[in-house]
Structure 1
Amino acid sequence: MHEVGIVDGVLRTASETARASGATKIVSVTLRIGDMREVVRESLDFAWEALREDDPLTAEAELIVEEVHPRSACVSCGNEFDHDRFHLRCPVCGSGQTLTLSGRELDIVSMEIETP
């Protein structure tokens, strides 16, 4: 369950950043996660609920997730197309030579904090 490691890293980064900004509380953290990362949302939410309680700064923080669906470009014909995690062939020419343009993200987009 790599979701625990993801949440641990996110909470650690958010806490360090918030403390450096003089925050008294983290209200929310927004993540952008691509489908190709194969993050199980239920496991992510479970890990968030469990690990956020370890620090009073994050104890009530809300997790917001922006999902990013895969998009690729065909090296052979240049076509850009949306797809799922498993079907990466170009729908125009059938080539398997593609470059992933989006769908692999795992980013902290923003966080909302309270300051004195």
Structure 2
Amino acid sequence: MKHYLLSVVTPAEGEPPSPEALEGIMRNVDGFHQELRQAGAWVFAGGLSSPATATVVRATNGDTLLTGGPYIEGKEYLGGLCIIKVPDPAAALAWGRKAARAITLPIEVRPFEGEVDG
């Protein structure tokens, strides 16, 4: 079995969904997560706070430097993630499609290096 990362690609600009729309999206996301659990593909999932809450840690000359805010400015950012365990890329893409329908944002599907036990 391989682990895959399903990344939620979130636009940095634009209006967020209304509270009513967000409630429906979160209901769909909860259903998606439940389906992953029932299929035995669930490993972990979670949403992330905005990039403004990030702290970048850099190693420099044996010391570390902390910088507030995102590492880079961009038109999109990682808004959440889901790690799944499935047998092959086709299965990962099938889950990616379901995630995109539930979340209504683009989903990047990417395999982790190597294999995992179980």
TM-score (normalised: structure 1): 0.32
Higher RCO (CA 8 Å, separation ≥ 6 residues): 2
Kindly indicate which of the two structures has a greater share of residues assigned to strand.
2
| Higher CA-based Rg | 1
